[in-house]
Structure 1
């Protein structure tokens, strides 16, 4: 007799899964929009508030401090209290905090509100990816998670459109007010997003788990499975301790994930938080810089879809390491680009491979830990990665005070991406088409 978790893992892909994916993608997209808005606002605020490069770097970094705190705390709380509660709570936090950024009356108040935005965004991402991963059929899990992550591109695109059409005409405050609107979504999410079945099982709530899976089976038109057996109910429930991430089979996985998260977060936030401002400082107008970034953002979408196609066909490890390596090459050539065409081409390719890699990172991370530690494991890896993001904007701000600054910034990102790709190639293990229980026995 199949266990409740095996029944869930072997379901055909159907309406239930697409509905869950779309709802979580909305939350993910709004995460991205609220994060991305500040990258465009900073280019305007440098002009209106007279910010120094160091101050701009601190604004970027404080959001990452909040993301690190949010990721570490919410991952642990999601393993204790449930995925659904934390998903809803973090959405409200970052939405309201983004609106408050529009009311900022000083540099210091803006820093405080950006910390709160980061806390909510950083808290939601590991919880959302854990929830979708635990509901996805094993043979489609990679594609589902990469598609979830693709919502980041649409959110950033929305931020770019807001920046291009609204900030130059109506000021930077209105962009933050628009970013507060996702709070309205929480009512629909609370009603339509179910609690994770694997979380219910982990907490001994077998009847609820069985009823949830049975409802999905009926919706998908497949035979309803048997209730959980006495042996399944009697199975011991392990408890999580942080030290468990550094023992046995999880030691290598944790080292690989933490290096991976640090490298990709460092490169992403260092590049994209500063990109509009870097282009302005390199002699391009504000409007032209926004145009470049808009095209680069559009290039993220096929990057995600390409990764989604490959991740369940050739595997997580080859897809991720090759995308990171290609991103490193593109970062180097972007840094030495001279003409507008070169900037656009290499910038789009950089965006294509970087965000495609991000999709695989979110697929890969929750697969490496058992249910009782999954959100915590992803949360702690993401929190460590945010440390890289904390330093990156400040490091860029410091480098920008020296000669040959643009090329030097992207040479740094090239080196970081090469190391990150080698880490996955050497330490990573393949998880394609294996159930979450199988991966963690």
Structure 2
């Protein structure tokens, strides 16, 4: 619970920052007179940083440890977000948003890798979906801040950025409050330190009882023989992702990440602004977005239950198919209640799919490749999150919300098909990979 909740709080703070920018763009469009293109650029520059951060973060996590990189990423994006509250123009804001993205991009794949290496095999997928569910907590927090703080005054967006600086402080909690991954320690030959981490787990009382946990996690190297490391540095690790053993799953997971990033960030970054353009007031559109956001939590809950019942691939593909249908519905309805209902369905299915994506990604690779594999998949996917916010204004002009959300639906369908190229590891220990 300490590992899960400690990582989850970092995850929620990440989501809060990403979610806030959609409300801040809508406010700055009115206050600074930003064009749609400038608003898309503010969103996209953060995703440029996320793409680089995800790739570098995974490589660093395999070299210097999961916990160290996790704390460092929180510090980077927390400081950059707080500094964004002081900007007076778009140029400096773009620079700071890049650094925010750098930290955000590295944090997510590292956190999911970190938790997966502690989780018992029988509930590993469920725990990662629960971890991902903290995203809904953070995104809901951003919607609440967007609803109550951003429109409250001309400086409301500055206060929102100031609140987003909390991760810089939380980085200290992560650095000294959470253990390093025992699997990573053992793989690097630090067997004694790994054993101490496991001993702390064994001595910890059960969450729902007073008896200590009696099971010892399977750790490569705990018996004295450390897991062999791949020769060379980051280039060799990247090349290993495309070896005969891993190339199909690497291609499939990269395609899933690319398509889901495109559809998710293209839709949810722009929903508040799309609702404003549809004739709703700023406060009313933010209220609708808050209601839509609340549907994320039940989506995660259902995905967390199904992922151990149905397995990773079926759960992921079903939620992606549901996302496609919901996107088509959102793009074609115009009645107020139908907009909210379709938006809630999109939140439900899309975020359930995200939970499954984060659950399956770290499982596809062995310990010495896990951070690199998860990081590069996330980094490649961020390419789509860079393009999508800038492409949405073009799609809206060309064919309105109908065309825009049909394109999102097509990307969801492609991802659903690609999911069947992944290898299924439900119920298997990471040591069996």
Q: TM-score, normalised by structure 2?
A: 0.94
Partner of 2:160: 175
CA distance in 2, matches of 1:341, 1:261: 31
Describe the superposition over 1:70-102 as per-residue Cα deviations: whole angstroms up to 9, x where unpaired.
000111001000011101110011111111111
Contact 2:253 2:361 in 1 (8 A): yes
CA distance in 2, matches of 1:330, 1:379: 29
1:189 aligns with 2:147: no
Q: Secondary structure at the match of 1:190?
A: helix
Partner of 2:36: 53
Q: How many residues align?
A: 420
Q: Aligned runs of 1:46-125 on 2, under 5 Å?
A: 46-125=29-108
Partner of 2:428: 434
CA, structure 1 residues 277+203, in 2 after alignment: closer, same or farther (shift >3 Å)?
Answer: same
In structure 1, runs of 5+ residues without a counterpart are: 1-17
Partner of 2:404: 409
CA distance in 1, matches of 2:186, 2:62: 12
> Following TM superposition, where does structure 1 have runs of at least 4 consecutive aligned residues deviating by more than 6 angstroms?
224-231
Q: Aligned runs of 1:298-337 on 2, under 5 Å?
A: 298-337=294-333
Partner of 1:208: 193
Q: Secondary structure at the match of 1:241?
A: helix
CA distance in 1, matches of 2:220, 2:417: 44
In structure 2, runs of 5+ residues without a counterpart are: 206-211
CA distance in 1, matches of 2:197, 2:226: 20
CA, structure 1 residues 229+103, in 2 after alignment: closer, same or farther (shift >3 Å)?
Answer: closer
CA, structure 1 residues 230+193, in 2 after alignment: closer, same or farther (shift >3 Å)?
Answer: closer
* Deviation of the 1:218 alpha carbon: 2.4
Partner of 1:254: 250
Contact 1:153 1:297 in 2 (8 A): yes
CA, structure 1 residues 95+227, in 2 after alignment: closer, same or farther (shift >3 Å)?
Answer: closer
Partner of 1:233: 225
1:151 aligns with 2:147: no
Q: Secondary structure at the match of 1:382?
A: helix
CA distance in 1, matches of 2:288, 2:164: 22
* Deviation of the 1:213 alpha carbon: 1.0
Give the root-mean-square deviation of aligned CA atoms: 1.7
Partner of 1:9: none
Q: Secondary structure at the match of 1:246?
A: coil
Q: Secondary structure at the match of 2:204?
A: helix
